[in-house]
A = this chain, B = another copy of it.
Amino acid sequence: MSALRLHPDRFFPADAGTRSVARALFRRVETLPILSPHGHTDPRWFATDAPFEEATSLFLWPDHYVLRMLHSQGVTLEALGFQTAGADRRAAWKLFAANYHLFRGTPSRLWLDHVFATVFGFDERLGPATADDYYDRINTALKLGAFRPRALLTRFNIEKLATTEGALDNLADHETIAREWPGHVVTTYRPDDVTDPDKDRFAANVERFGATSWAGYLKAHQERRAVFRAHGATATDHGHPTAATANLSAAEAQALFDRLLRGKREAGDAELFRAQMLTEMAKMSCDDGMTMQIHPGSFRNHNAALFAKYGANVGADIPMRTDYVHALKPLLDVVGNRAGLTIILFTLDETNYARELAPLAGHYPCLKLGPAWWFHDSPEGMLRFRRQVTETAGFYNTVGFNDDTRAFFSIPARHDLARRIDASYLAELVTSHRLDEDEAHEVIVDLAYNLPKAAYKL
């Protein structure tokens, strides 16, 4: 058995002088409250405050990073008891533990170790020899009041946490939260189910949405956005295959809407509708002040057999090459120079950081850059983001960190990592005399707190 220890200097640069600057910068933000303006935790947790069930269903089954890696190495989802009634959860946990070495060098390992050490107090590494002890101690802890969702949110020092709900969600959990425990957890408007004609049940969704004409459809969005805002939402989110935008006339849009809903869909119509809806959402944001997030570039459910058997979110979403410079122009021609509008761009295609995204965000008033996302939410990924973005976009066209996670327990781990990487990057600038140390101390606070607060209007 090997020691599990979170080193106080973890993730800092090796050079002693730079490390010392990084340490001082990190100390400045270490205990700042966490703002989590984009994520996918389940609002029911906070509405009911029920205890979490047990270790395997909490840490293994819902984590697509973990499932992905285990599957890639021949550990089948069947063997892990995934989506299996009456599965042997302890056996699944032990199989996970037996393969924990697969995660060496990955952020999953860093997040998990942080949770195990700081939330549960483990001081030995997870592995075959410690699997049972881990399983038992986690399950025992989860029964305690201190491990209930609301208590943990407080313990995690989370000032504000945004979940994400579809346009058709009734927001019942957020009703309960607002009534019983207001102030910490808000929703986000994610209308993909009614804006993406390639979604299953798109036509039925639009019908439930109450829209029979293009004008009525837009009005339904305006109304739902208002309802979401009444439940604390300050932002919308759009997960499209590409960043394509369009600027159709009302007549063209009505015709497109009709084709899509009356079964006369033509090639390119779905993409064009999504594209038009990004522009529509941007225009509505000009009116109602909601911050807009665009998350393009994922080939969803690439593994056909796994999707057929288990559905989405089993780790088979693969990034694609993504264009922004042409794709966003129609939208930018409409709202690009609007003050007060904030559109946050994300990417899974890092080649865009320096080539397209930083120049765009470094020019257009409405554009800001979201942090390194998904596969790139990692030490190297975050450093690549800062190194490729900052020289053109500066710090003030970025919006701090998003944890983007459904893994509630890992939120502190992820923000700890992000703050340490930002401190490391800033320390490098200081040590190489590209930034004065007093300025770096201002910037680190902006990155950890002020920029997300402003960008998301928290």
Q: Residues on A close to B: CB < 8 A?
A: 2-3, 6-7, 9-15, 17-18, 68-69, 71-74, 101-107, 110, 125, 299, 302-306, 315-321, 323, 325-326, 329, 332-333, 336-337, 339, 348-351, 354-356, 358-365, 367, 375-376, 378-381, 387-388, 390-397, 428-429, 431-436, 438-439, 442-443
Contact = CB atoms under 8 A, between A and B. Distances in A.
A349 B339 contact: no
B332 A365 contact: no
A14 B10 contact: no
A306 B366 CA distance: 14
Nearest 3 CB-CB pairs, A to B? A10-B433, A7-B433, A14-B15
A241 to B, nearest CB: 12
A104 B375 contact: no
Contacts of A106: 390-392, 394
A271 to B, nearest CB: 15
A319 B390 CA distance: 16
Contacts of A337: 303, 305-306
Contacts of A356: 318-320
B14 A396 contact: no
A396 B72 CA distance: 9
B14 A13 contact: yes
A115 to B, nearest CB: 16
Given A103-B394, A350-B355, 6 more contacts: A2-B436, A13-B14, A105-B394, A317-B359, A318-B359, A380-B388
B363 A303 contact: yes
B439 A360 contact: no
A303 B336 contact: yes
Nearest to A387: B380
A208 B106 CA distance: 49
Given A321-B355, A391-B378, A362 B435 contact: no
Given A299-B325, A428-B14, A432-B11, A73 B105 contact: no
A12 B431 CA distance: 9
A376 B387 CA distance: 11
Contacts of A387: 380
Nearest to A417: B434
Contacts of A359: 317-319, 375
A432 B378 contact: no
Nearest to A397: B72
A106 B337 CA distance: 22
A14 B17 contact: yes
Given A101-B439, A349-B355, A72 B434 contact: no
Q: Kindly name the residue among A12, A125, A434, A439 whose own CB sees the greatest number of chain B CB atoms within 10 A.
A: A434
B14 A362 contact: no
A392 B379 contact: no
24 contacts: A3-B436, A6-B433, A10-B432, A11-B432, A11-B433, A12-B432, A14-B15, A71-B365, A72-B364, A72-B397, A101-B396, A102-B394, A103-B394, A104-B395, A106-B391, A106-B392, A302-B360, A303-B337, A318-B363, A321-B351, A350-B355, A359-B375, A375-B391, A380-B391
B320 A325 contact: yes
A128 to B, nearest CB: 14
